[in-house]
Homo-oligomer: A and B are copies of this chain.
Amino acid sequence: MAVFQRFQRLQTLHVAPRRLKPQTCNVTVHRTVTERIQQRHAHDVVPTRRPFSRVTSDDLSFFNDLLPGRTITDPDMLESCNVDWLKTVKGSSEVLLRPKTTEEVSQILRYCNKRNLAVSPQGGNTGLVGGSVPVFDEIILSTALMNRVLTFDSILVIFTGILTCQAGCVLESLSQYVEERDFIMPLDLGAKGSCHIGGNVSTNAGGLRLLRYGSLRGTVLGLEVVLADGRVLDCLAKLRKDNTGYDMKQLFIGSEGTLGVVTAVSILCPRKPKSVNVAFLGCSSFQNLLETFQICRGMLGEILSAFEFLDASCMSLVEKHLKLTNPIAESPYYIVIETAGSNAAHDEEKLHDFLEKVTASSLVADGTVATEEAKIKALWSIRERITEALRHDGYTYKYDVSLPLEKIYDLVTDMREHLGNQAKNVVGYGHVGDGNLHLNVTSPSKDEALLAAIEPYVYEWTWKWRGSISAEHGLGLKKRNYIYYSKSQEAVRLMRDFKAMLDPKGILNPYKTLPDDVR
């Protein structure tokens, strides 16, 4: 189809485009000022080592007997597990354990709990909030060798798409596995080449497909979890519906390994779409981008599978640091739209009609569409590799917030103005469809003054609009003390009660998720 070529630059319309009315958001300020003040200087709080035992030679003998050849103490081999992907958090663990089975995880935790040894569970170590590395000398419990697919409906004639696998399977490997069988994973994210499904579940990862397939809270059907004292909790159901008692597994989704170690996952995979298209568009204003989203939801409807955005600063960074090429004319804002459907002709017609509408009304200034896999991947990589480009740009302060859609980019604009030339770059990108902004600030090196200018400003701002200070990344080590900006004291108190019940000695991923005032 003609529209599936690179667009022509558009002429100004004679008819003035429809504009959004200015609005204010109905913010109910229901948190107390006291709560806020308590958090003002939370970024200054560095945890102190809690009185856990230290690993002895007897402990090492036990681990060596249990995991011969898989109990690692070589400092060189430990190096990469002690530091996070962003290289902003560094622990000093002296032991890395690599179990292969749930039973081994159970024995490790039973022993550690008895000995009061702290444990830092680790998947692909791709987290961005310091949740997946030790803070002090916690034992690193890696799921890297727990990478077997257990079942995929293969004995059934009526495929339901239910995959059951060990926690250490790499997301991209699982994607390949189910795609060969005509399904796809219900989640996709930039870190797919390294991240583990157990880590995805433990952090309730969002990513690029949430708009279409919903969160892991709906698609994860079952979990197997080892509790702090070594008990194995088998909730590995493979049923779309199961209302027998409380849904225990939900507590472990998104709790960042602080309540238990996920060892196996059962997950519902959607059918592989027969037709996929990706459009990469440019908008001259964020208002235009939002109007494009509104029209897109109406016209693409059920085939819309992603609506992502990046700003011009992000584009400059991927061009500069990764040598990627901007496929369209320069714009202040770029959109990545993906459609996924069962009928190529219908999908192309819907996309064609949508593109005609948004270009005719000047909402979109330029764009290109891809239907072939290689070109689709190339367009997606611009969006997916922003995180990588930022890492090349310098020390990165990362924020991941949910906001009312109409306010979502104002945070970037306000932050830019607030920081002036203190920052190297202030950029915004993220998941428009989910109201999720990734705000990133870079500087040549770690800069405490810059940090103090960003925090708590960013949290105050988010709180004011009743947003969430962590949309999909979690709290980990870095954000734990800001939890009150998004959760009430009553809710945090209850979290503390759950932690105390499930892990009374607090050995599982200490210093993470819960604020320091809550052990």
Contacts and interface: CB of A to CB of B under 8 A. Distances in A.
Nearest to A490: B233
A250 B217 contact: yes
Interface residues of A, number: 99
B244 A255 contact: no
A206 B241 contact: yes
A434 B495 CA distance: 32
A285 to B, nearest CB: 14
A242 interface: yes
A203 interface: yes
A306 B20 CA distance: 36
Given A158-B294, A346-B349, A491-B235, A301 B341 contact: yes
Contact of A245 (B23, B157, B492): B492
B402 A240 contact: yes
A473 B243 contact: yes
Nearest to A300: B342
A472 B301 CA distance: 28
A100 interface: no
Interface in A275-306: 290, 293-294, 297-303
Interface in A195-250: 203-204, 206, 210, 214-215, 217-219, 231-235, 237-248, 250
B290 A158 contact: yes
Given A155-B23, A217-B218, A242 B495 contact: no
Contacts of A235: 487-488, 491
Contact of A470 (B240, B243, B501, B513): B243
A327 interface: no
A259 interface: yes
A151 interface: yes
A362 to B, nearest CB: 18
Contacts of A342: 298-302, 350
9 contacts: A30-B234, A156-B404, A160-B405, A217-B218, A240-B402, A242-B486, A244-B470, A250-B253, A274-B301
Given A214-B218, A247-B254, 10 more contacts: A206-B243, A235-B491, A239-B435, A239-B467, A239-B468, A240-B434, A241-B472, A246-B513, A248-B491, A301-B341
